[in-house]
A and B are shown apart, each in its own frame.
Chain A
Amino acid sequence: MVRTSTATAVVRDDGIVSITIDKGVKQLLPQAQQNLAAVLSLAEGLKTKLIIDMSGALPLDPDVRHFYADAPLSTKFTAVALVVAASPLGRMMGNVYMRVARSPIPMQLFPDVESAAAWLHAKDGHG
């Protein structure tokens, strides 16, 4: 497990890396850099999948949004599931991130971690 100032990242029992953004905290560029470094370090030597739980996250500033969008997730992960708040705002935040990121790997929005993990398990090369 890796704990940053704004998130907690773990490798789940099923081998999927998961990061949960703390509720109500503001992420600036240094915090975003910490969070990215955390998930990449947990995936070192693996080719696995990623769950990003941003259901509690506050809206991002443009520079942070672009930092996350340009992150080299495809070097370590084969698919990314975004967990967003089950609200119009939560879905809008998820959709905006997906549009800006233009990810080369499959990326989908989910209302909870269970449905996110189920989708990732169904992808090829589980674990």
Chain B
Amino acid sequence: MPMRTRIRTRTRSRTLLPFLLPAIGLYGLLMVYPLVRSISLSLTDSEGGPDSDFIGLANYREMLHDPAVRPALVNTLVFTVIVVLAQNAIGLALAALLRRWGAYGKALSVVLLLPALLSSLMASYIWSSLYQQDGAVNSLLNATGLGSLRHVWLGDPSTALYAIAVVHIWMSVGFAAAIYAAGFRTIPEDVLEAARLDGANRWQVFRKVEWPMLAPSVTVAVTLALFGCLRVLELPLVMTQGGPANATDTLGLSIYRTVFDSGNIGYGTAQSVLLLVVVTVLVTASNALLRRREGRVQ
């Protein structure tokens, strides 16, 4: 019996290989190879032309001392933390709320997904217009008697990053809510009934029963949110060009500027590698933490 299984596995692997090869080929050629080339480019002073010199880790050393890179990194991280937290908190709250509303709730959850259909580019343009000094947001505040809250949203360093964060949250909340809604649906009714019978009020039911059982949803939602936030580029590019005073400069934007405006490809690619490292580290760490939590609470 064991020998038969072994032979079967070996033959299975071999006949399955052709199915894998096209994907590996495409992925290897157009993703892995450029990535490797990126890393080697980051070790040069290339400007895109034929001659470039190998300069070792000089680009990386310059990055450490570049006064523009650290704010960009910090802004990217702050932005990410704010958006991921808000997106998930609001998405969870919405999912918790809407599941009790039957058909009306379903319709609402669809409406929430509309902003996800917009491209970041268009959303940036639209919200830039809304955030203008005489734009819709300020006009609305005026009209509802909250005129004192008016700001130069995108021009004030203390509000700019948050203003942009709002746009990203607007675009991604519906999606987070959908993930959590599905998560709620996987919780068995009898477990909830048991908790209620024990006299737990709604908040206690949520904290002790539902929240732990939502752990897989949290993992998925947070991971996807992280992916989306860390590379944010179009939003600050269009809305604030990284200003005012670098308040909204992100890593993605800094890379874009270095490569396309300054033409300094070697240095820009080095920053890309930094971004890649940040993404990989954060996503792997958060994923590991969340998966472990899943195992613990379930």
Q: Is chain B a partner of chain A in the same complex?
A: no
Which residues of A line the B interface, CB within 8 A?
none
